[in-house]
Amino acid sequence: MSSVELNKPVPDFEAPATGDQTIRLADLRGENVVIYFYPKDNTPGCTTEGQDFRDQMKAFAELDTEIFGVSRDGLKAHENFRAKFEFPFHLISDKDETLCKLFDVIKLKKLYGKEYMGIDRSTFLIDQEGVLRKEWRGVKVPGHVDEVLAAVKELGQTS
């Protein structure tokens, strides 16, 4: 499977998520979809990013936009993370990195001088027709969710 491209349809996928859900992109036609990839549950930046999406959830919902967080953590960790911070959106478990590869978010990273392959914090906006309209890579958390919300509003004005 090749990776996604701007202004092209995103290949259909299905993935396990919290709430005993299986998320299928095809089932979300007619709604905008924001998929954000983050490195790890219960880490400071990832928690803040999730809380920022949570706090803007009403605004996204008013714009017919679904939010999904994705990391390589398992469903049990996701369920605990989601419950602890009262995220109103589902978290997708991508242990086999299928979505990570589709969206090309696995990158060489460095921490304390050690190199490893990890998720590059990234967000993708898919329109109601299933077309990738915007991507943010190498995301810095402060102010990011506001940028995503502005892009969703802009999308609504052009359709």
What the chain holds in terms of domains, given with CATH numbers, is 14-153 (3.40.30.10)
Spot the catalytic one: 10, 35, 46, 92.
Answer: 46
Residue 157 confidence (pLDDT): 73
- Residue 122 burial by Cβ neighbours in a 10 Å radius (0-12, 13-18, 19+): buried
* Amino acid of residue 135: E
Q: How far is CA 35 from its chain centroid?
A: 2
Other CB atoms within 10 A of residue 56 CB: 17
pLDDT in tens, 130-140: 999 999 999 99
Task: Name the 3-class secondary structure at 27.
Answer: helix
pLDDT at 158 over 70: no
Of 10-14, 15-19, 102-106, 112-116, the range with the lowest mean pLDDT is 112-116
Per the CB < 8 A criterion, the answer to whether 126 and 25 are in contact is yes
Average pLDDT over residues 118-142: 96
- What pTM did the predictor assign? 0.95
- Local confidence band at 2 (pLDDT 50, 70, 90 cut-offs): low
pLDDT in tens, 23-43: 999 999 999 999 999 999 999
pLDDT at 159 over 60: no
Residue 100 among the catalytic residues: no
- Residue 28 burial by Cβ neighbours in a 10 Å radius (0-12, 13-18, 19+): middle
Strands 90-93 and 65-71: what pairing?
parallel
Average pLDDT score, the chain: 94
